[in-house]
Amino acid sequence: MTSAPVYLVDDDEAVRSAFSLLLGTYGISIETFGDPAAFLARAPKLKPGVLVLDLRMPAITGLQLHERLAAIGCDWPTIICTGHGDVHACRRAFKAGVVDFLTKPIDEQVLVEALQQACAALDMRAERAEAAHLVAQLTEREREVLDMVGRGWSTREIAESLHLSPRTVDTHRANIAQKLGTTSVAEFARLALIGKAP
């Protein structure tokens, strides 16, 4: 289903064992933590993945852990699980950027779908980061040309708009192709679009 690891933080050992067993049957890599502080200490060294956090834990709640992770730049897709869900907690979780809020006992299919959704969000973030990295290598003029190519403008239209010769635009396009690793206009458009997405 996914190559992204799943990190479960829950103070209930039975829940950790059940999740490990269930996700193992799907071939999903899972690492469990019984203590939010232990996860916080390890987080900077871990491969990006999906977080599954228990809402109510003794020292740090799942939402507090999510907020602390966000404060240190760890914005991995997060699923909050709870046996004591209420509308206020659910609303607060979604406002904090949590991708799903599940009530225990969690139905297996609901969990798998939530993990698939979270993995898709993780993949999209990685794709956006790669596109932003590639687009950042372009000069300002090359970014202008890329944007216009992405909107379907011809070399002649770009040249007229930027007051350049068509040959200069072609040179910029060749430089863009080399830096982005593609000559496809469709790929130019895709990279231009996701490279500037938030």
The reply to whether CATH 1.10.10.10 applies to domain 137-194 is yes
Mean pLDDT (whole number) for 146-158: 92
Q: Within the chain, which residue ranges are assigned CATH 1.10.10.10?
A: 137-194
Q: How confident is the model at residue 95 (pLDDT cuts 50, 70, 90)?
A: confident
Q: Within the chain, which residue ranges are assigned CATH 3.40.50.2300?
A: 6-126
* pLDDT (0 to 100) of residue 196: 65
Query: Angle, nearest 10°, between helix axes 140-150 and 155-162?
Result: 130
* pLDDT (0 to 100) of residue 92: 82
Q: How confident is the model at residue 65 (pLDDT cuts 50, 70, 90)?
A: very high
CATH code for the domain defined by 6-126: 3.40.50.2300
Lowest mean pLDDT among 116-130, 148-162, 166-180: 116-130
Question: E strands of 24-155, at which residues?
Answer: 30-33, 50-54, 78-82, 100-103
In order of 17, 55, 91, 117, 195, the CA distances from 80 in angstroms are 17, 6, 12, 13, 29
* pLDDT (0 to 100) of residue 2: 61
